[in-house]
Chains A and B, each alone.
Chain A
Amino acid sequence: MSDLETFRAETAAWLEANCPPEMRQPLVDESDACWGGRNPTFKPGQKEWLDIMAAKGWTVPDWPKEYGGGGLSRAEAKILGQEMARLRCRSPLSSFGIWMLGPALLHFGTEEQKKHFLPPIARGEIRWCQGYSEPGSGSDLASLQTSAVDEGDHFVINGQKIWTSYADKADWIFCLTRTDKNEKHKGISFMLFDMASEGVATKPIVLISGQSAFCETFFDDVKVPKSYGEGVSSVVYEVNKGWDVAKYLLGHERSMIAGGGSEGATSLGAKFADQYGRDEMGRLDDPMLRAQMADMDIEVLAFRAMAERFGDTFKAGLCHPAQPNMMIYAGTEINKRRHELIMSAGGSEVLEWESEATNGGLTARSWLRTKANSIEGGTSEVMLNVVSKQILRLPGA
């Protein structure tokens, strides 16, 4: 057996032996994920699973061991992911610290910043949120106005963020602030501070889905120390160079999303035919719906091939750096259409917003949630702009 095959076998055996049974059930909705933090809420099995995985460094398998990671090679981390998927083990920890801040710190942070901030992220002890968008700065993010004024040993922050995911539950924030009003991109800094600081307020935003994962976040004369200890600056990289960090993170985020591909059942038609009834030929008994479902099957299978090709070319360094933008554009648009079709197939029954039969309107709420897919993290229109400019090199794009 090769080393990797041994690793696979040992990993599978370890997962089988250690993953609590509750953690091998599919997630029903976002609230089933474990987010950790200072004031965690754990469902049965979650804490056990988080602690045992964190002890191995497997909440962040490919981070270096000295920062709380598993120190796995990319190939090993991929195998761990495959085995967890195969055995239906849930991810032990959902975390913007892992997905976003971690990669930024690993790339731009000082050694002291990494040692200070990364291990609590890996253990799920500190829950982070992202302060990027503002009411007046959406697609044009670099126009942001939340100010950070240098007051000697600290900054004073004033302004407002919006679409801050779970700000009301987060312990710390990584936040883009304006440190130079006379510059646009070159006047932004990437700052880290405690959400318990005086002057921070959050207000959940009720969405069309009825859920409120996002908040408005207000900063009123918030004092942020310049340093949290020797070499542990509250600013990542340098003052006025926060846009470089944000751009790096956006690229990282887009390649992560883009690699995800389209999950879920391959064939909607196969799933709905029994519910709908079939004609004497065995066909789904609504010709227009059947045609649309078959179209969607093609879109999903085609996009799955695209995701495979994207992953393969990305790994081999053969893929255009802006290709993730195209992947997100295509993937989010397909996902929105897919949920339109699911609603259409469900008819009046899935309109029930609070009934037990619909599990609290899950289908409808999921449908509404997908509408954000092509807005958050860059709208479809922004993605098309990037493709126009960077891939097709169209003038003036």
Chain B
Amino acid sequence: MPLYLNDDQQMLQDSAADFMKGEGDVAHFRKFRDMNCKDGFSHDLWKKFAEMGFTGIMISEEEGGLGLGHVDAGVVLEQIGRNLTPSPFLATAVAGVEALNGGGKTLRDKYFPGILSGDSVLALAIDEGAKHRPDQITMAASREGNGFKLDGKKQFVVQGGSADTLIVAARTSGSAGDEKGLTLFAVDTDAAGLTRNSVRLVDSAMAAHVEFDGVLVDADAVIGEVDDGDVVLKRMLNAGRAGSAAEILGVGAGAMDITVDYVKGRKQFDKIIATFQSLQHRISHLYSEMEIARATVLKAQQMLDEGSSKAELMVSVAKAKAGRATALSVKEGVQMHGGVGMTDEYDIGLYMKRDRGLQEFMGDANYHTNLVAEMHGY
């Protein structure tokens, strides 16, 4: 498979670009931020995502979706990144759906219709500390009657306050650090004993601290196998990581474009500042980094779609590389904008804040760099 988008993916890119620009551009983002929206996104827009078929992008055609893969989800996510479109697409339609794709038919039949119609929002309850450490999960799920009882705390549950269902990773046996003993659950947010405290993040997204105090779920809530949750968790993490790499790539590409436009227009010392070689070389270096990141992200997605055994390695490479390239893009962007880069009026600062949020989502560049070393056996 050549490492560029095929004609269908190109068409999808065009329609996703038109859609995000038309319905969910930066002005839309500002509107929802400024109204202090408790969701941090528009449910109406989410409905329109569903009308476009985007919410079912990774749901099979037999189940009413588009039956597409990671590359295609990434195409949509890049446009979301470029436009800073606020939506639950990544957690719900990509990572959440991939988790459910690894589960049984009962669960899929229960949740897919709501996702396909744009009525349902999923959120991922994985992290328990300030940094993403899925191997260190301690939250307990103990056997109770026919099902399980959940006790513990999760944080950085993005859009957790708006979600009707949480995908929760908890420990049914073993202890922190063990590969086995994890189990994944689909938990409805109106369950007794579940409390959510939403907070606004630096990028204006909403994330919840979630407490589970003896929350009872029945055995049907298990996604995949009890104690073997690492299998489906890995599947979900791969989708979420490749997806967030694609979104962050879009953020970096968008930031680079507006910065290039800005330096082509701004005059100082009677000269357009883009004529200064000190800026030209930095922008060209950034271009090079973004190009490499783009190739890496696409490679990881293609490998996931092919079911390659090396896909996980490339996903970590992609999240790390795209993360570092975009961090460079937004930092150079603010610097090259000069004083106005510090103002809320100009968009570049919004890109910097969005980048910061996505860096932490499902592991930052350092986390994935460490994983690469581990996967290489050192």
Check B373–A294 contact: CB distance below 8 A: yes
Check B378–A273 contact: CB distance below 8 A: yes
- A269-293 Cβ-contact flags toward B at 8 Å (1 or 0): 1101100001000111000001101
**Known A-B contacts A306-B292, A394-B264, A394-B283; A270 and B372 likewise in contact (beta carbons under 8 Å):** no
Determine if A298 is an interface residue (Cβ-Cβ < 8 Å): yes
Nearest chain A residue, comparing its CB with the CB of B366:
A291
Which residues on the B side are within 8 Å of A313 (C-beta)? 2-4
- A319-342 Cβ-contact flags toward B at 8 Å (1 or 0): 000010010011000000000000
Contact of B287 among A266, A267, A294, A392 (CB under 8 A): A392
Q: Considering the chains assembled together, what is the distance between the CA atoms of A301 and B299 in angstroms?
A: 10
Nearest chain B residue, comparing its CB with the CB of A292:
B369
Determine if B376 is an interface residue (Cβ-Cβ < 8 Å): yes
**Known A-B contacts A318-B4, A394-B274, A395-B264; A388 and B283 likewise in contact (beta carbons under 8 Å):** yes
Q: Which of B285-304 contact A (CB under 8 A)?
A: 285, 287-288, 291-296, 298-299
Interface of A is mostly: helix
Nearest chain A residue, comparing its CB with the CB of B256:
A392
Nearest chain A CB to B292 CB, angstrom units: 5
Contact of B320 among A267, A298, A318 (CB under 8 A): A298
**Known A-B contacts A267-B376, A293-B373, A391-B287; A312 and B314 likewise in contact (beta carbons under 8 Å):** no
Nearest chain A residue, comparing its CB with the CB of B324:
A298
Determine if B370 is an interface residue (Cβ-Cβ < 8 Å): yes
**Known A-B contacts A388-B280, A391-B287, A394-B275; A270 and B378 likewise in contact (beta carbons under 8 Å):** yes
Q: Considering the chains assembled together, what is the distance between the CA atoms of A396 and B314 in angstroms?
A: 39
Nearest chain B CB to A18 CB, angstrom units: 33
Nearest chain A residue, comparing its CB with the CB of B318:
A302
Check B275–A273 contact: CB distance below 8 A: no
Which residues on the B side are within 8 Å of A298 (C-beta)? 317, 320-321, 368-369, 372
Determine if A232 is an interface residue (Cβ-Cβ < 8 Å): no
Determine if A384 is an interface residue (Cβ-Cβ < 8 Å): yes
Which residues on the A side are within 8 Å of B272 (C-beta)? 395-396
Nearest chain B CB to A252 CB, angstrom units: 21
Determine if B260 is an interface residue (Cβ-Cβ < 8 Å): yes
Determine if B146 is an interface residue (Cβ-Cβ < 8 Å): no
Which residues on the A side are within 8 Å of B280 (C-beta)? 384-385, 388, 392, 394, 397
Q: Considering the chains assembled together, what is the distance between the CA atoms of A377 and B267 in angstroms?
A: 34
Q: Which of B331-378 contact A (CB under 8 A)?
A: 368-370, 372-374, 376-378
Which residues on the B side are within 8 Å of A316 (C-beta)? 2, 4
Q: Considering the chains assembled together, what is the distance between the CA atoms of A302 and B291 in angstroms?
A: 10
Check A330–B288 contact: CB distance below 8 A: yes
How many chain A residues have a CB neighbour from B under 8 Å?
45
Determine if A83 is an interface residue (Cβ-Cβ < 8 Å): no
Determine if A51 is an interface residue (Cβ-Cβ < 8 Å): no
Most buried by B among A266, A293, A395: A395
Which residues on the A side are within 8 Å of B376 (C-beta)? 266-267, 269-270, 294, 297
Number of A-B contacts defined by CB within 8 Å: 141
**Known A-B contacts A294-B373, A395-B264; A309 and B274 likewise in contact (beta carbons under 8 Å):** no
Determine if A305 is an interface residue (Cβ-Cβ < 8 Å): yes
Nearest chain B CB to A286 CB, angstrom units: 10
Determine if B268 is an interface residue (Cβ-Cβ < 8 Å): no
Q: Considering the chains assembled together, what is the distance between the CA atoms of A272 and B275 in angstroms?
A: 45
Check B378–A278 contact: CB distance below 8 A: yes
Nearest chain A CB to B245 CB, angstrom units: 11
Determine if B105 is an interface residue (Cβ-Cβ < 8 Å): no
Nearest chain A CB to B302 CB, angstrom units: 10
Nearest chain B CB to A297 CB, angstrom units: 5
Check B288–A326 contact: CB distance below 8 A: yes
Determine if B281 is an interface residue (Cβ-Cβ < 8 Å): yes
Nearest chain A residue, comparing its CB with the CB of B275:
A396
Determine if A108 is an interface residue (Cβ-Cβ < 8 Å): no
Contact of A330 among B275, B292, B370 (CB under 8 A): B292
Which residues on the A side are within 8 Å of B314 (C-beta)? 301, 305
Check A269–B373 contact: CB distance below 8 A: yes
Determine if B284 is an interface residue (Cβ-Cβ < 8 Å): yes
Closest 3 CB pairs of A and B: A396-B275, A273-B378, A294-B373
16 new A-B contacts, CB < 8 A, other than A301-B296, A313-B3, are A272-B378, A283-B374, A294-B369, A294-B370, A298-B321, A299-B321, A301-B313, A301-B314, A305-B298, A306-B296, A309-B3, A309-B298, A313-B2, A323-B291, A385-B284, A396-B272
Could you list some 27 contacts between A and B, CB below 8 A?
A272-B378, A284-B378, A290-B373, A297-B372, A297-B373, A301-B314, A302-B318, A305-B3, A305-B292, A308-B295, A309-B3, A312-B3, A326-B284, A326-B287, A329-B284, A329-B285, A330-B288, A385-B277, A387-B288, A391-B287, A392-B260, A392-B287, A394-B260, A394-B264, A394-B280, A395-B272, A397-B280
Using a CB–CB cutoff of 8 Å, the interface residues on chain B facing chain A are 2-4, 260, 263-264, 271-272, 274-275, 277, 279-281, 283-285, 287-288, 291-296, 298-299, 313-314, 317-318, 320-321, 368-370, 372-374, 376-378
Using a CB–CB cutoff of 8 Å, the interface residues on chain A facing chain B are 266-267, 269-270, 272-273, 278, 282-284, 290-291, 293-295, 297-299, 301-303, 305-306, 308-310, 312-313, 316, 318, 323, 326, 329-330, 381, 384-385, 387-388, 391-392, 394-397
